[in-house]
Structure 1
Amino acid sequence: MTRTAEALEANPYIPVAPTIKQLLFLSLPHFEAFYGGAGGGGKSEALLMAALMYVEEPGYAAILFRRTFTDLALENSLMDRAASWLTRTDAQWSERDKRWTFPKGATLTFGYLDSPRDWRRYDSAEFQFVGFDEASQFRPRDMNALIQRVRRPKDARVPLRVRYASNPGGEAHDFLLKRFVEPKEPHPQRAFVPALLEDNPYLDRESYEATLERIRELDEVLYQQRRYGVWITDDGDSIFRREWFAGRYDASNRGVHNAVVARYIFWDTAFKEGEERDYSACVVAELSSDYTLYVREVGAWRLEFPDLVGYMEDIAARHNQDRKLRGIVVEDVGAGTSAIQTLREASRWVAPYIQAFRVRGKKTERAREASVWARRGMVKLPAPSPEVSWLHDFEEQLFAFPITEHDDMTDAFVMSILYLRHYLAEGWRARAGTQVA
């Protein structure tokens, strides 16, 4: 028997014996570990065991998350299962705090991350264990924010651990795939333990397989994900298709540049203070006389606010050497609002170009609306070349959206289409149906 198995057997708060796969997961020394794959592999139970492993250590603090409070409160969910394990022990439950407290002061808390700001509730918290059940349902940026809360006092004996459990699919599918399942390079502090239905001897396999067969009648991809833990996605989920951009332009062809009627720079300034700030993304788009939109440059950077304003000025100057710049369009929210005010007040030559733009509706709805232009061949990307080193990263994000870890460049791209569509509609009416001169 391994040391981990002995510790689990002696733990009065874990009343079940782990399966072989669960024991492997529980024995991992890595800072981050992912137990994932097919449905029925005992993922949630493994996560609860992992959280309870050190509750006899004074001061130990663990927290388990589900995406919504409803998910937490469901019958046989994490919180319900913990109650069945702990109610007859000496651990004390607080309904208000959703927390079990153990005799030596250790705690196990349950949380949720429903809205984009929910992670802020834990800004001043400190945990030695953070677990995400059904991790693919979370926003990756929320999970990254909570990882920053994993720390311990100098004299603490417990290890620091972040644990994930999930099926494939969902909002964080791409995040989990690249971080654990198919990383570009092995990471010494991350591990992946695949789990299958066959790895859980306690489950009624016959009835569970019957349920999965009903899923198969409706969705083959979902069936493959749940039955065999296959990390595939349905290409039909992608909003922007690669084949819509088959007609590429040559970035070195000056004739294409000379056909430009108007050039705009679009900024999605998704900015936060500190290490957890998001990317600010920029798209430079040009409109030709036949209403074709040419994407000239795309970029994304994590920037402090003064640097953000400086980047906006520098990119504007570089793309206005031929005096065809017509606008610097900034999303009028958060740091974008601050940038608009700063540039209008402090930059005399940039100020006349600044245009505030407020997007509406959900991201996916906006993207589907914008995709009509791309589907009709009205949006051109450059052919791959050393001159457009940004192209690979942009395409990787665009064609994976909405199942992608970051979407900042896609947001700016969508904003460019929606803005110019509005511009053309208004201009067409103003010009009484004539073309752009």
Structure 2
Amino acid sequence: MPKKLSNVLTPLAVKNAKPGRHADGGGLHLLVKESGARSWVYRFMLNGKSRDIGLGAAGPDGISLSQARDARDALRLKVKAGIDPLEERQRVAAEALSAAQAAQVAGITFKAVAETYIGANEGSWRNDKHRQQWKNTLATYVYPVIGELPVAEVGTAHVLQILEPIWKDKAETASRVRGRMETILDAAKARGYREGENPARWRGHIAQILPARSRLTRGHHKAMHYEAIPAFIGDLHERKAVAALALEFAILTAARTGEVIGAKWDEVDLDKAIWTIPASRMKAGREHRVPLSLRAVAILESAKALRKEWLFPATSGGKLSGMAMTMLLRRMKVDATVHGFRSGFRDWASECTGYAHEVAEMALAHTIGNKVERAYRRGDLFEKRRRLMEDWAIYCTNPRAIDRSVIPIRQEIFA
């Protein structure tokens, strides 16, 4: 039986060793590379398998021969006890990394994650108003409660603390706040900042605690019945204000408030009676062509005398406020919303005309059908929509004949 090696190497041998593996005994080896780099390795047998574990660099700036032997002896005791020193080292390193990551995550607040998310995604959002709403709702309702809280610690109790005070009186705002918190917490989980279920999720969680919005509100914009719209527009003609023209234009085009107040003259071709709304300002994210009726063109011809960038400018400059038409309705004591006139148009088209369903839906810039149907439908039924919108304008101005003479707004309004 060959004699076991024991303390074969000397400090001088370590210094002068050639490239290769040099045994010292007891499983300790000196490894020398062609580059001259030297390191210590301990080879052990456990469960019938031979394994190597590095001890560190050898030489004047590394581990000396005596230190390497001490390290070998300590590891030999662990191996005799059935402990795999290589697995132990890996476990300790993993625990240290986990502790470091936990310490780092503990310092990441909900507000920091939210700001990172907004910064990464706001460029893809449709308009400035949407971006501002994200920032304002978080700053108003969320940050005061959990803004400086580690995102990993946000729980259901925190979410309810934010939502419950506004859930009944500000149902729509509360619903948006909940959705935004859910999105940010999902982003935090995706980045490894938190684990477990999302405490702001609706289905199967918050829905079991708070009532659905539909139980708190009607869930629809208040609409004026189409039979009352002609008389209302007649009253609207008595009001010489930009908001009155903008509201009538919105009714006649069945457009949304934001689409009307954000409209600029470079979107309009009066000669062809077409208003082209760019995709960036549309809810569906697609360009929308609006055929303008004779009355709608007359309104724009009147507004053009103001010589402003916007179709319907504010008195102080810039575009008309999003609340201008709403406030006009309130002053007129009308229990309806601007958006609700789109419902009036849709009901009229269904009940009083023979136009196809998709013609009216396209007039409202709604998405038509499923993906397959949309793939085969290349046109936008523009000429049919032109006839529909002209009929709608005639109906809205009834019993009067179509009157193309709109009383111009005097410049004094903007003084």
Q: Same fold by TM-score, threshold 0.5 exceeded?
A: no
More helix by percentage: 2
> Normalising to structure 1: TM-score of the pair?
0.27
Give the TM-score taking structure 2 as reference length: 0.28
Largest Rg, 1 or 2: 2
Indicate the structure whose relative CO is greater, using CA pairs within 8 Å and at least 6 residues apart. 1
Structure that is richer in strand per residue: 1
